[in-house]
Structure 1
C-alpha cells in the first residue's frame, strides 16, 4: 500500500511540468477587419435555414395565435389636419388596459401615464388581435412602475402632458389651454394641489424617457414586476374569455383649445 501511494505521488509530480510544458504562449501580431454585407444578394445558406426553420415555424404559430377581437381600428394618429391630437383610441385602450391590470395589484393607484406617445409603436387592427400585434405595439421589455409623487412633481407631469399636446393617460381628465393644464380631475375629483399622488408609469418614462423629468425624486417607488406587454396580453385574453371585444371610446379625457 505504501508503494502505491509513492507511485501516485510521483505520477502527480511528474504530470505538473508536463502540463506546463504543453501550455501554449501566443502573441497577437496582426489583425484584419473584413465587412460582410448581409443582404438579398448573398447566397442562401441551406444549413443555417435547416437549423432555425423548426424554431421559426413554432414561433410563427405562436405569434399568429388570435387572443382577442377589436371592434374598431386603433390607429397611431399623432396629427389630424396637421394639428396634434390630444386623445385617440389607441392611447385610451393602451392606458386603460394597463391601469386596469395594475389596479389588481395596487388598488390605491390614482392615475396612469404608462407611456409617451412615441412609446406606442403601431396601430392595432380591427377584427382579430394576434399575439404578434401586441408585440408590434409594445416591442420593448418595459416594466410597470408605481411612483408616489409630491404635489410639485405631479404638477410638473401635468404640465408636461399639456405642453406636449396630450399623452396616454387613464384615471385623469384635463383641458389644455395655451399649453397649460386646466380643470384637472383625478379619479373623478378635482386635483388637490397639496396631495401626493400615486401614479402608474413605465421604467422608461420614469427614467427620463422622452424628456419626462417628473419621476426623478419620488417619495416612493415600486417595481410591479410585470412587463407592460404581458399586462396587455392578459387584458385582451381576459376580455376574450369573458366574451367581450376591445372597443375603446373617445371620452374627452384630454381636450385642447
Structure 2
C-alpha cells in the first residue's frame, strides 16, 4: 500500500510540473493575391466537369418565352415584372395554402429590392429564375386584421416604390394621399382577417415591414420563391407582362 501511495504522489507531482499556461501573444497573417498567375488543377477540373455540364444543362433548358424585356424600374408604383412576381406567388402558392388550411390567399406583398435582375426578351430558363431571385427566401402566409392591412397600405403610400403586390388595389392622388384601397373590390374591413403571402425575410422585418409580425397566425409553405418561379415558367408558354392599375397615382 505504501509503495502505491508514494508512486501516486510522484506521478501527481510529475503531472503538475508538466502543466504549462499558454497565452496568445501575436497573430500573423499573410496576403495571398489571387490573380492570373495561379494555375488550375487539371485533375480537379476533369472531376467536376461532368457535374458542371449537368447543372448548366438543367439551368439552361428552355421553360418559356418572354415577348419583351422587363425591369423593376419600368414604372413608378407598379411594374410588369413586379406584378408578374406577385401574381405568380398568388397563383402557385394558393392551392398549397388552400389544401392545408381551407383558406384562400387574399393579398401578396413582396419587395422592390428583392428583384435582382431584369427579365430579358427571349427564352426563359431556370437560370432566369436564379438571376431574378438568387436568395433562399420562401413563401409564408400570415393572417392580418384589416387594421394591419391598412398599415401595409400606409407603408406603400409612404415608400412611393413599386413593391410587388397582388390582390389589393390602391389609388393615390397627385400628392400621394390615399384615395382608395380595396381587396377584391371591397373596402378594407378593420375586423376581418386577410391572409397575406410574403417571404420569410419580409415577415421577419426586412425592409422595415414590421406590420407582418402583427399577424395572428403564420404558415410556412416550404416553397422557395425561386422554385415557385421555375414552376410558373413551366406552367406558362409565353410571358407577356404588363403594368396595370393595381397601384396608381392620379394626376
- TM-score in terms of structure 2 length: 0.81
2:183 aligned with 1:186: yes
Change (3 A) 1:234 1:142: same
Correspondence for 1:103? 94
2:59 aligned with 1:63: yes
> Residues 1-257 of structure 1: matches in 2 within 5 Å?
32-77=28-73, 85-107=76-98, 108-113=104-109, 115-165=110-160, 166-177=162-173, 178-240=175-237, 245-257=238-250
Task: Tell me how large the CA RMSD over aligned residues is.
Answer: 2.3
Correspondence for 1:82? none
2:203 and 2:35 mapped to 1: Cα distance? 38
TM-aligned CA deviation for residue 28 of structure 1: 9.3
2:62 and 2:88 mapped to 1: Cα distance? 18
TM-aligned CA deviation for residue 151 of structure 1: 2.6
Q: Return 5+ residue gaps in structure 1 as ranges.
A: 1-24, 80-84
| Greater alpha carbon shift after TM alignment, 185-194 vs 60-69 | 185-194
2:193 and 2:28 mapped to 1: Cα distance? 60
- What SS does structure 1 have at the residue aligned with 2:232? helix
1:35 and 1:99 mapped to 2: Cα distance? 50
Q: Deviations over 1:3-39 (max 9, x none)?
A: xxxxxxxxxxxxxxxxxxxxxx9x8988642232223
CA contact (8 A) 1:111 1:187 kept: no
1:201 and 1:181 mapped to 2: Cα distance? 23
Aligned residues: 223
Change (3 A) 1:37 1:180: farther
Correspondence for 1:16? none
